[in-house]
Amino acid sequence: MKKIMLAAAGVLLFLDAGSALADKSAVRLEVPANAGQGEKITITLFARHSANNFLHYTKRLNLTINGQEAASWEFSAMNLPESAEFSRSFEYVLTGPITLESSAICNVHGSANTATATVGLRLTVCGSAESPWCSSSGSSILC
């Protein structure tokens, strides 16, 4: 019985050898610096974790916009991320400046960071085709 227990422990240790060097899950955000009001933008989250196997993996990736959860992706031992480095995209229609936060969480070690980013509204020149609120006099005042 003792040999069976040692063999089972050895197999588990061998299967999880990669996670011995694993780190916390980390994330970074890629967004445009500015966009026009009403414009659809793509927010891309890039997650990294040195081991994604059934014992040790990124269990959650989330995105908040202006403090409200906008998207989350859940993973499990049977639904692992496709690789140690993976990405997810989210489309959002900009109605004003936004602040983004994202984190990736390892099921064993937690999160390495909270990524933050902002997207501002693009300024338009009065009289331009992009600015219906300004007069068409062609003045150079910014709206």
> 83: domain CATH number?
2.60.40.730
pLDDT at 72 over 70: yes
Which pLDDT tens digit goes with each residue over 110-131?
Answer: 999 999 999 999 987 665 555 5
Helices marked H in 58-142? none
Residue 36 in domain: yes
Euclidean distance between CA atoms 75 and 87, whole angstroms:
13
Residue 68 in domain: yes
Which pLDDT tens digit goes with each residue over 8-57?
Answer: 655 555 555 544 556 899 999 999 999 999 999 999 999 999 988 999 99
Residue found by looking up tokens 């890039």 in the block: 46
Q: Kindly indicate the confidence band of residue 104, based on its pLDDT and cuts at 50, 70 and 90.
A: very high
How many of the other CB atoms lie within 10 Å of CB of 41? Answer: 16
Quote the pLDDT of residue 133.
54
What amino acid occupies position 97?
A: P
Residue 80 in domain: yes
CB-based contact 84:49 (threshold 8 Å): yes
